């Protein structure tokens, strides 16, 4: 009987201690405003963003991984790995081993766990007894290594932005044993308008101010929550303005037979991945493209710059990379009836094109206020969030020490 009582007492003590530990675990909302360039706050003067920066910490820019595209970099933010290490090497690509294409609009591929590597933040949290939620994020619709976020919403661009905020607040008001301590939240409006009208349009300014009102609504609603929350604002990349002009485009279809069934082409605009499946075809096509290099550069996979961390079969046997200011097209395009004389793109090498830089702003009980840091690579966001949440940091490309100057216990 004494032994039973002792076991019960120990169990009660452990349960109470575990509950207190969970209560002490901070909260983090990772918010992405897709395509929000590093200089939009200075350029468009959004008041809520400016107030957020004033009260928190800020980086002068957030440097995306190569290529500076939406899916690779959103997944980098939640894995701490370069795209060449976590596997999502572009918004669309082909996996020769799986013999499957991946595309961001392909629901089957997006939900296929075979494409995703690394340990997403929501999975890291759950592995350590912490609940997690995602209102849209790349990777959250796939059971990576068999695990989904505790709460997740399948992507639907039509969901109003304020409703996304409302659901986030609802999650934070759940009972402690159900409440997520890590939440990812995504907004696409700035990116969509940047693509449509470029980076200098009145339409983009109005859209940035709409995003500002969404941020204001989020911060206002957080005042109704009785737990201390750290809010981290990021973007996956910036935006580069191009002219709606025939000279802007690189006609890939004029350089080789892209309809050849022996060759797979996945064109991302700033890069085109070419899968030949044969060393002889690779060498032959490389020779052809090398002679035609104008406003683009062609690489064999093993020739890609080391700084890109981009040497794996999913990038293709050949990689065609457009120069800044140019865009690859894989089929003929009609010219003349444009709603705008400019449009926006991203994907260029962020070490060369500063316009690819995004934002990093943070505020909360675990963030030092009034600190500004120089631009840093987005691989370092993951260990910063893991540190705030008290989670062990796995082997990743990111390093907590980069953001240590803004961390507060």
By CB atoms closer than 10 A (0-12, 13-18, 19+), residue 203 is middle
pLDDT the model gives residue 16: 40
**% the chain with pLDDT above 90:** 90
Q: Are 27 and 228 in contact (CB under 8 A)?
A: yes
245-297 pLDDT per residue, tens = 999 999 999 999 999 999 999 999 999 999 999 999 999 999 999 999 999 99
202-222 helix and 161-172 helix, angle to the nearest 10 degrees: 20
* CATH architecture group of domain 26-242+350-406: 3-Layer(aba) Sandwich (3.40)
Question: Average pLDDT of 393-405?
Answer: 98
Q: Residue 327: beta bridge partners? A: 249
Burial (CB count within 10 angstroms: exposed 0-12, middle 13-18, buried 19+), residue 234: buried
Q: Token digits for 42?
A: 């200075």
Q: For all residues of the chain together, what is the average pLDDT?
A: 93
121-160 pLDDT, tens digit per residue, is 999 999 999 999 999 999 999 999 889 999 999 999 999 9
b/e map of 301-340 (b: 16 or more CB within 10 Å)? beebeeebbbeeebbbbbbbbbbeebbbbbeeeeeeeeee
pLDDT, position 2: 54
What architecture is domain 245-337?
Answer: 2-Layer Sandwich (3.30)
Residue boundaries of the structural domains of the chain? 26-242+350-406, 245-337
Q: Tens digits of per-residue pLDDT, 2-31?
A: 555 444 454 544 444 444 444 578 999 999
Q: Return d(Cα 336, Cα 75) in angstroms, integer.
A: 37
Residue ranges of E strands in 182-222: 182-187
Total Cβ atoms within 10 A of residue 295 = 15
pLDDT tens per residue across span 149-183: 999 999 999 999 999 999 999 999 999 999 999 99
Look-up: residue for tokens 């596997």?
87
pLDDT(408) > 60 = yes
Share of the chain above pLDDT 70, in %: 93
């Amino acid at each position: 009987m004494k032994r039973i009582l002792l076991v019960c007492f120990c169990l009660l003590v452990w349960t109470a201690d575990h509950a207190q530990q969970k209560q002490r675990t901070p909260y983090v909302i990772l918010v992405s405003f897709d395509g929000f360039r590093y200089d939009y706050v200075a350029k468009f003067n959004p008041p809520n963003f400016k107030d957020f920066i004033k009260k928190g910490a800020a980086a002068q820019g957030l440097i995306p991984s190569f290529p500076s595209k939406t899916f690779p970099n959103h997944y980098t933010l939640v894995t701490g790995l370069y795209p060449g290490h976590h596997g999502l090497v572009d918004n669309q690509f082909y996996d020769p081993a799986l013999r499957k294409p991946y595309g961001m609009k392909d629901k089957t591929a997006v939900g296929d766990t075979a494409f995703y590597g690394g340990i997403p933040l929501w999975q890291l949290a759950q592995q350590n007894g912490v609940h997690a939620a995602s209102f849209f994020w790349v990777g959250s619709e796939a059971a990576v290594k068999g695990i989904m976020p505790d709460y997740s919403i399948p992507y639907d661009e039509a969901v109003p932005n304020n409703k996304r905020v409302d659901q986030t607040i609802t999650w934070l008001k759940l009972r402690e044993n159900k409440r997520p301590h890590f939440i990812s939240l995504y907004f696409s409006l700035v990116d969509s308008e940047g693509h449509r009208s470029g980076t200098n349009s009145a339409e983009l300014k109005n859209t940035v101010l709409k995003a500002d009102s969404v941020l204001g609504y989020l911060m206002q609603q957080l005042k109704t929550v009785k737990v201390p929350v750290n809010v981290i604002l990021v973007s996956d990349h910036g935006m580069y303005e191009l002219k709606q002009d025939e000279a802007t485009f690189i006609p890939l279809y004029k350089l080789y037979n892209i309809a050849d069934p022996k060759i797979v082409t996945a064109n991302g605009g700033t890069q085109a991945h070419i899968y030949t499946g044969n060393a002889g075809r690779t060498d032959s096509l490389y020779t052809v493209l090398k002679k035609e290099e104008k406003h683009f550069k062609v690489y064999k996979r093993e020739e890609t710059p080391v700084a890109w961390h981009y040497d794996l079969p999913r990038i293709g046997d050949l990689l065609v990379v457009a120069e800044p200011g140019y865009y690859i097209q894989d089929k003929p395009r009609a010219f003349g009836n444009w709603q705008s004389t400019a449009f926006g793109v991203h994907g260029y090498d962020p070490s060369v094109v500063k316009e690819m830089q995004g934002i990093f702003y943070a505020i909360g009980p675990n963030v030092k206020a009034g600190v500004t840091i120089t631009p840093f690579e987005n691989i370092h966001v993951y260990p910063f969030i893991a540190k705030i949440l008290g989670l062990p940091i796995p082997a990743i490309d990111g390093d907590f020490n980069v953001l240590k100057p803004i961390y507060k216990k």
